[in-house]
């Protein structure tokens, strides 16, 4: 379970998270929508400890992320994150990209790591690309590789930060299909997205962020069809 | 008809000088690179404010002419009664000189690795050291290699200045022969050719590695 309690975070004088509360249960899919600068992406990077927080608490399975005693490297093995920019390791082949962390972080043998990597790459439809270098692939393929790379660590939770925003519209579909597949397999996911149709389809709950505040959170039918908050209404009207 | 007093034993003498040039260069570049990597990582890691004292010292080594550094270094070791041989003094001074340049090359290389790529590595549970070792180092080396090859070739030529401390390296050996045989042009031509021959493999190594890496980047 991911528990976010009253989290505040500022960059300089700009407060980007103004007291966020959110609990995500195992197996749940929560999507976060909202305009740029509403704090959605920052929240994800705080959840796996890439960004410090100013106050409040984030707990993952009871472990406080920002406590001094927490071994973040260990905690991050549980929480996979995929970014808007896929951040392939350009000097490694697709297979090596996915194998690296299982080998070095989990300490698996070459054979075992390769087995896992091949399985995950097959899962996201890249079985043909094992020996290829990332720059020889399309953005969508690289993004699917990044997903496989995160999955190879067998995380309990997956965070997706606008994973389709930097993609050619033609390539968005293949990445969303991968996410749909994960959701249907019962992966616990928090997705920040601008894809409203996707959010409606896969989410158990949808949260709307506005200027650092979680303005509304509800099951998708309710949030999209009968939003309560004035800002949510405005946002949805603008995106439809 | 071309006529020269240069004998085989004179050529052997030049070869010995070249050996000294190579030895001083190898030791200085090796030590300077290790120090440069260390200083470069420190400079990148602690930020400009905390690294200011280190940056200042390195700036001194980069801006004061090497000849002055060698003479002062030699005088300093004498004053401090360290009893260093000219070879040791030469290598110590040249190593620091190399390290000063190498630090900037390393820092630039690390800087060239996108923050997001490093974040991706850390988000997979890699430690700072693992990120450095498996992601930053290979990518930074690709970026830094041409400058590092240039530095190595530069240090090899600059190492001629150690003749002022009495070491008989390639240039000094040539000078001795010039004085004795009075054939400056011919001997300096040979001397230059030897510098070229020992530089060539280093320069080619750089080209080879760049070519080997380029299809992937």
pLDDT computed for residue B88 by the predictor: 95
Asked if residue A154 is part of any domain, the answer here is no
- CA distance to partner chain B, nearest, from residue A184 (Å): 23
- CA distance to partner chain A, nearest, from residue B95 (Å): 31
Look up the CATH number of the domain holding residue A224: 3.40.50.300
Read off the pLDDT of residues A46-77 as tens digits, 9 standing for 90 and up: 999 999 999 999 999 999 999 999 999 999 99
CA distance A48 to A43: 9
pLDDT category of residue A167 using cuts at 50, 70 and 90: confident
DSSP bridge partners of A18: A8
Q: How many residues does chain B have?
A: 217
- CA distance to partner chain B, nearest, from residue A76 (Å): 5
Asked if residue A127 is part of any domain, the answer here is no
Cα distances (Å, whole numbers) of residue B143 to B106, B137, B153: 9, 10, 17
Using the CB atoms, write b or e for B25-62: b if 16+ within 10 Å.
bebbbebbbebbbebbbebbeeeeeebeeebeebeebe
Asked if residue A135 is part of any domain, the answer here is no
For residue A221 the two structure tokens come to 């039918």
Q: Where are the domains of chain B?
A: 17-216
Question: Which residues of chain B are modeled with pLDDT < 50?
Answer: none
- CA distance to partner chain A, nearest, from residue B78 (Å): 49
B89 with B165: CB under 8 angstroms? Answer: yes
Q: Which of B109, B115, B125, B133 should be substituted to probe chain A, the one whose Cβ sees the most A Cβ atoms within 10 Å?
A: B125
Closest CA to B200 of B128, B149, B145, B137: B149
Chain B residues whose beta carbon lies within 8 Å of the beta carbon of residue A145: none
- The predicted complex's ipTM stands at 0.86
Read off the pLDDT of residues A92-127 as tens digits, 9 standing for 90 and up: 999 999 999 999 999 999 999 999 999 999 988 899
Helix axes B184-213, B137-158, angle to 10 degrees: 180
CA distance A8 to A53: 6
Asked if residue A85 is part of any domain, the answer here is no
Asked if residue A32 is part of any domain, the answer here is yes
Q: What is the DSSP string of A154-165?
A: --SEEEEESTTT
Q: Do B126 and A87 touch (CB under 8 A)?
A: no
Asked if residue A54 is part of any domain, the answer here is yes
* Parent domain of A233: 1-72+189-240
A22 with A1: CB under 8 angstroms? Answer: no
Dihedral sign for Cα A97, A101, A102, A104, please.
Answer: positive
Chain A residues whose beta carbon lies within 8 Å of the beta carbon of residue B145: none
Q: What CATH number belongs to B17-216?
A: 1.10.3720.10
The minimal CB distance from B123 to the residues A50, A90, A104 is found for A50
Q: Would you tell me how many other CB atoms lie within 10 Å of the CB of residue A6?
A: 13
Asked if residue A17 is part of any domain, the answer here is yes
Rounded to two decimals, what is the model's pTM?
A: 0.85
Q: Which residues of A touch B (CB under 8 A)?
A: 48, 50, 73-74, 76-77, 80-81, 83, 85, 87-91, 100-101, 104-106, 133, 135, 146, 149-150, 153
Q: Do B125 and A76 touch (CB under 8 A)?
A: yes
Chain B residue at shortest CA distance from A90 = B217
Indicate the number of domains in chain A.
Answer: 1
Q: Which of B113, B115, B124, B217 should be substituted to probe chain A, the one whose Cβ sees the most A Cβ atoms within 10 Å?
A: B124
pLDDT computed for residue B217 by the predictor: 53
């Amino acid at each position: 379970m991911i528990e976010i309690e009253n989290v505040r975070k500022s960059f300089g004088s700009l407060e980007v998270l103004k007291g966020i509360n959110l609990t995500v249960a195992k197996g749940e899919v929560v999507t976060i929508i909202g305009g740029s600068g509403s704090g959605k992406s920052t929240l994800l990077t705080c959840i796996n400890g890439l960004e410090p927080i100013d106050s409040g608490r984030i707990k993952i399975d009871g472990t406080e992320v920002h406590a001094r005693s927490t071994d973040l490297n260990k905690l991050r093995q549980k929480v996979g994150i995929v970014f808007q920019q896929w951040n392939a390791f350009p000097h490694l082949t697709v297979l090596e990209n996915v194998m690296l962390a299982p080998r070095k972080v989990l300490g698996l043998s070459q054979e075992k790591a390769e087995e896992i990597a091949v399985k995950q790459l097959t899962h996201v439809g890249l079985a043909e690309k094992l020996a290829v270098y990332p720059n020889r692939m399309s953005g969508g393929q690289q993004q699917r590789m990044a997903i496989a790379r995160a999955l190879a660590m067998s995380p309990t939770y997956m965070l997706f930060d606008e994973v389709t925003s930097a993609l050619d519209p033609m390539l968005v579909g293949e990445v969303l299909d991968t996410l749909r597949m994960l959701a249907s397999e019962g992966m616990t996911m928090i997705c920040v997205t601008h894809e409203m149709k996707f959010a409606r389809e896969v989410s158990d709950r949808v949260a709307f962020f506005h200027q650092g505040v979680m303005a509304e959170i509800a099951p998708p039918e309710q949030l999209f069809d009968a939003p309560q908050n004035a800002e949510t209404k405005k946002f949805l009207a603008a995106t439809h | 008809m071309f006529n020269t007093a240069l004998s085989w034993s004179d050529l052997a003498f030049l070869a010995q000088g070249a050996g000294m040039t190579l030895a001083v260069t190898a030791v200085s570049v090796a030590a300077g690179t290790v120090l440069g990597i260390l200083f470069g990582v420190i400079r990148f890691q602690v930020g400009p404010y905390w690294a200011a004292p280190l940056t200042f010292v390195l700036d001194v080594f980069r801006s004061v002419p090497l000849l002055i550094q060698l003479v002062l270094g030699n005088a300093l070791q004498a004053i401090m009664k360290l009893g260093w041989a000219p070879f040791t003094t030469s290598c110590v001074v040249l190593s620091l000189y190399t390290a000063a340049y190498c630090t900037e090359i390393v820092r630039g290389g690390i800087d060239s690795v996108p923050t997001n790529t490093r974040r991706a590595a850390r988000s997979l549970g890699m430690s700072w050291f693992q990120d450095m070792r498996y992601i930053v180092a290979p990518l930074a080396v690709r970026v830094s290699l041409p400058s590092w090859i240039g530095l190595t070739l530069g240090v090899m030529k600059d190492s001629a200045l150690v003749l002022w401390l009495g070491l008989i390296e390639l240039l000094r050996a040539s000078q001795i022969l010039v004085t004795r045989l009075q054939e400056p042009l011919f001997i300096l031509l040979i001397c230059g050719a030897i510098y070229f021959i020992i530089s060539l493999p280093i320069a080619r190594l750089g080209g080879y590695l760049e070519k080997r890496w380029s299809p992937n980047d």
